[in-house]
Structure 1
Amino acid sequence: MTRRSRRLFTTATAGVTAALLLGGCGGGDGDKSDSNGKIAGADTGASTSASPSASATAAESGGRPKITLPSDMTLTFEGGQTGDPVKDAVLADGAERARAEDAAITGTDPKGEGLAYYNTGKALEATLSWVAQFKKADVTITGVVRYYDRKVTLRSKTSAVLTFCGDESKGFSKNKKTHKINKTPVSKDSYVSYNTRLDKNSDGVWQTSQIISIRGAAQCQP
């Protein structure tokens, strides 16, 4: 998988470390949007279907799943209000998707209800695979990740592109058994650009369907 590491973590497991250094799952690093502004197809790296229990539970609840994060993990999102209710809804659901992924990794959403609710298609497959790597490596995440320069482009009434930057300089992995935090020095690769596509489903939820990231992108450097 190659999409968003969403933070430059290091772990004692070589496989996960390599994936993190490349960027997380969802779309190939360095992929570009095509000349028509459409997001290129994401390379998920693994075919993983959504957990039936996750999808069913979210649907049966009749509302949005409650997403919480552990006290040592904080996500901040800048620029959440544009004055346009549609764009604001895209920004809000895009933020919830990020929170849902971290909730699944940290164990506050073990069934992945948020993942199945805010992701679809290739993005869901890639995210499930990405979360599984952390579980296999027996590591979790901690610290602070900041999202900024968030911009929405509406393609239609049910399709939008959300681009943003991620500052992972204060986000790290943590060994679940020893609780040791694997801190890494800040570098240009601590900053990541994201190009995501969201599609509005029949329930009015803007689900992320594709994600492309570029680690160390010039436009996201401080």
Structure 2
Amino acid sequence: MNPRRLVLATLALAVALTLTACGGNDTDAPAKGSDKASATAQHSPSPSAPAADGGRPVIKLPSDVTHAFDWGTTGDPVKDAVLADTEQRIKAVDLAIAEQDPLHEAYRFYSEGTAAAGSQRYIQDFVDHKARTTGFTRFYDADVTVHEDGTAALVYCEDQSRAFNKFLETGKTDVTPVTKNSYVIYAATVRKNGNGVWVTERLSSQRGSATCRP
């Protein structure tokens, strides 16, 4: 049985995010690589993310959680900063899942608004199912558009074909077959905050996107 897949419907970066499922049933754990809307994330500090230089949290993932960001650099310092901070947000969500902390400091450092709220709910689903992510996830085909108002639009793809759910109580990894739904396209609105961090404010996604499938 495939694990439950929690994804966001892409509707031009809509603020209202909707939940869909692929495979499994309501008792299955959520799958890696997506968010789900909820109330705005609270701001109580997490004890598990020490600050690195510049106040950025240290993100140290379990050895079995790995990523590849195959979008290189653009040569534009602003666009490259957007991509770099997006990488950290993605890793920070997996860290929060691994540490079973829906209010983890790390992902809240890199996200605000509906994006932070969606991440909080997504992480909570893993906590509720006593599960975390495991395996390898690849991100690619990123496209950044910088706007004059200090925001940027980012679209990118994710390959989840080698990423799975691992249940903490049993240690079992739920290995699922590769289908078109293993490939997800994301659209994000990011903004440079007062600390110079490109935070994700809104995030939506579509599973099974033909744009991202090999």
What range describes the TM-score normalised by the shorter chain of this pair? Answer: 0.7 to 0.9
TM-score (norm 2): 0.83
Checking the alignment, whether the CA contact within 8 Å between 2:101 and 2:124 is kept in structure 1 is no
Checking the alignment, whether the CA contact within 8 Å between 1:76 and 1:145 is kept in structure 2 is yes
Letter in 2 for 1:203: N
1:132 aligned to 114, 117, 124, which one? 124
User: Matched residue pairs, number?
Assistant: 194
Answer 1 or 2: higher relative contact order, Cα 8 Å, separation at least 6.
1
| Structure 1 stretches of at least 4 aligned residues deviating more than 3 Å after TM superposition | 57-62, 108-111
Checking the alignment, whether the CA contact within 8 Å between 2:37 and 2:119 is kept in structure 1 is no
Q: What RMSD in Å do the two structures reach over aligned CA positions?
A: 2.3
Q: Higher helix share goes to which structure?
A: 1
Letter in 2 for 1:213: S
Q: What CA distance in whole angstroms lies between the structure 1 residues aligned with 2:100 and 2:167?
A: 16
Unmatched runs of 5 consecutive residues or more in structure 1? 1-8, 11-16, 34-38
2:14 aligned to 29, 32, 40, which one? 40
Checking the alignment, whether the CA contact within 8 Å between 2:40 and 2:114 is kept in structure 1 is no
1:173 aligned to 145, 150, 165, which one? 165
3-state secondary structure, aligned to 1:116:
helix
1:3 matched to which residue of 2? Answer: none
**Alpha-carbon deviations, 1:143-169, whole Å to 9, x = none?**
000000011110125200111000000
3-state secondary structure, aligned to 1:219:
coil
State how 1:6-45 maps to structure 2 within 5 Å. Answer: 10=3, 17=4, 20=5, 22-23=6-7, 28-29=8-9, 31-33=10-12, 39-43=13-17, 45=37
Q: What CA distance in whole angstroms lies between the structure 2 residues aligned with 1:91 and 1:176?
A: 32
Checking the alignment, whether the CA contact within 8 Å between 1:50 and 1:116 is kept in structure 2 is no
Q: What CA distance in whole angstroms lies between the structure 2 residues aligned with 1:168 and 1:153?
A: 25
TM-score (norm 1): 0.80
Checking the alignment, whether the CA contact within 8 Å between 1:152 and 1:161 is kept in structure 2 is yes
Unmatched runs of 5 consecutive residues or more in structure 2? 18-35
**Alpha-carbon deviations, 1:168-208, whole Å to 9, x = none?**
00000001011100011000000000001101100100000
1:51 aligned to 24, 43, 48, which one? 43
